Amino acid sequence: MRRTAFAATGVVLALGLAACGGSSGGPSSETAKAPTDPSTVKGTITVLTNRTDQVQDGTLKRYAAAFNAIYPQVKVKFQGLTDYEGDVRIRLNSKNYGDVLSIPNSVPLQQYPTFFAPLGPAADLSKTYDFTDHATVGGQVYGIANIGTANGFVYNKAVWKQAGVTEWPTTPQQFIDDLKAIKARTGATPYYTNYHDGWPLTNWGNALGSPSCDPAASDKLADTKEPWAPGQDLNVVDSLLYDTVHDKLSEADPNTTNWEGSKALLGTGKVATMWLGSWAVVQMRDAAKKAGQNPDDIGFMPFPAQKDGHFCSVVRPDYQYAVNVHSGNKPAARAWLDWYINRSGDAQAALSISSVKGTALPADLKPFQDAGVRFIHLTNDRTAEVDEIDKASEIGINNQDYPQHIVDVARGAAGGDKDGVFEDLDKKWSDAQGAR
């Protein structure tokens, strides 16, 4: 029954996006141009954001005040969405999805022109920003990332040390053994899935490329018949998630997890480890500080696999910011987007990799540099093909249902076993390839 429900989710998403495209009257070629004279820009815009913490603590309000010093006639409203992916996916079936928003992971690249206004030629914007190739269709850029993020495990170094572990694990099995030591020797939950909110689990897909250290790992999915076969990156990555849960090294009841609460859990040492992007480090350190703990206890480690003696961490764009193709105030929306990425200082405050070319790496990635971790930028030449196969397969590699299903099988909440899950995924993928 669970496999049927899993497949059905992809069908609903595909139909939803198709319906939205049809109702919008087709892609618009109107560019959301960067305004040259702030005094001429006016109106009210709504910004959708997954950063509910920045809404609650007043950070975005402060950003808006600084923005208004340059654009005094623009009023910026924020809508913080806890289930950002789910809520925006539904809103995309209408024209009402804000003026500025982060592009949901569920939207295929080729459908960007249906939902978002072009921001300018890739040949121009790629000179200023990294990662523009991830949002380029037909030579036009439809989204600009604020930050790039390295992928790894955010962990509480004090807890790992208490368990007797002071070196990064170099293999998946060593990682599992380390989690077992944490369970045996400390009072901490070794790993926290953040299953309930869902979207944090999608980050597991961002480990693709780390085990193999292959920049073409994603593009190769277009030709790989069995991406979950032994030795393949997706097998290595998803096996680690499965084994962690199956060996009871994660929270007792995934349905009770809470993203905002997880920050304090890791910051205070009640949870030892979470797989996230480097952007999360500063949030966990802030949580530790608020709880009276040492923020320096929060560290970041690469995926436990090496190639030729080196760890590799895939650097990807975080959410890419876009302008709603239906926005009636595109100049103001573009003004906010540009100001936020270039002048707000948000990337630096988050200790993240700025997408603006030439910006220095943040301090939280210095241990990666010192250890010789290789930063991998995945090629993006065949993304449209991979998206097409993914959609036809109804797997949803970038959606939360796929890793949640792995967790469900691993914890016994759904039938089957790891080999069966991977065989099913491989069949769906190869069948979708053959149907093209």
Give the pLDDT confidence score for residue 11 in this predicted structure: 29
Give the pLDDT confidence score for residue 15 in this predicted structure: 32
What tokens does 413 get?
């909440």
Long-range contact list for 261-268, CB < 8 A, 24+ apart? 262/192, 262/194, 263/287, 264/290, 264/291, 265/189, 265/192, 266/154, 266/155, 266/156, 266/192, 266/298, 267/156, 267/291, 267/293, 267/295, 267/298, 268/293
> 302-336: per-residue pLDDT in tens?
999 999 999 999 998 989 999 999 999 999 999 99
Q: What is the pTM of this model?
A: 0.77
Quick check: 257 and 251 in contact, CB under 8 A? yes
Computed from CA positions of residues 236, 237, 242, 243, in that sequence, does the dihedral angle turn out positive or negative? positive
> 89-125: per-residue pLDDT in tens?
999 999 999 999 999 988 989 999 999 999 999 999 9
Give the CATH superfamily of 2-148+319-357: Periplasmic binding protein-like II (3.40.190.10)
Give the pLDDT confidence score for residue 349 in this predicted structure: 86
Give the pLDDT confidence score for residue 351 in this predicted structure: 81
In sequence order, what are the residues at sequence separation of 6 or more whose Cβ sits closer than 8 angstroms to the Cβ of residue 292? none
Q: What is the DSSP string of 318-350?
A: -PEEEEBTT-S-HHHHHHHHHHHHHHS-HHHHT
What tokens does 326 get?
């239906």
Count CB neighbours of 34 within 10 A.
13
Regions of the chain where pLDDT drops below 70: 1-29, 436
The three-class DSSP label of residue 408 is: helix
Give the pLDDT confidence score for residue 27 in this predicted structure: 45
Give the pLDDT confidence score for residue 29 in this predicted structure: 60
Among 245, 171, 238, 241, CA closest to 208: 238
CA distance linking residue 230 with residue 314, whole number of Å: 21
Q: What is the CA radius of gyration of the chain?
A: 21
Give the pLDDT confidence score for residue 435 in this predicted structure: 78
CA distance linking residue 389 with residue 409, whole number of Å: 24
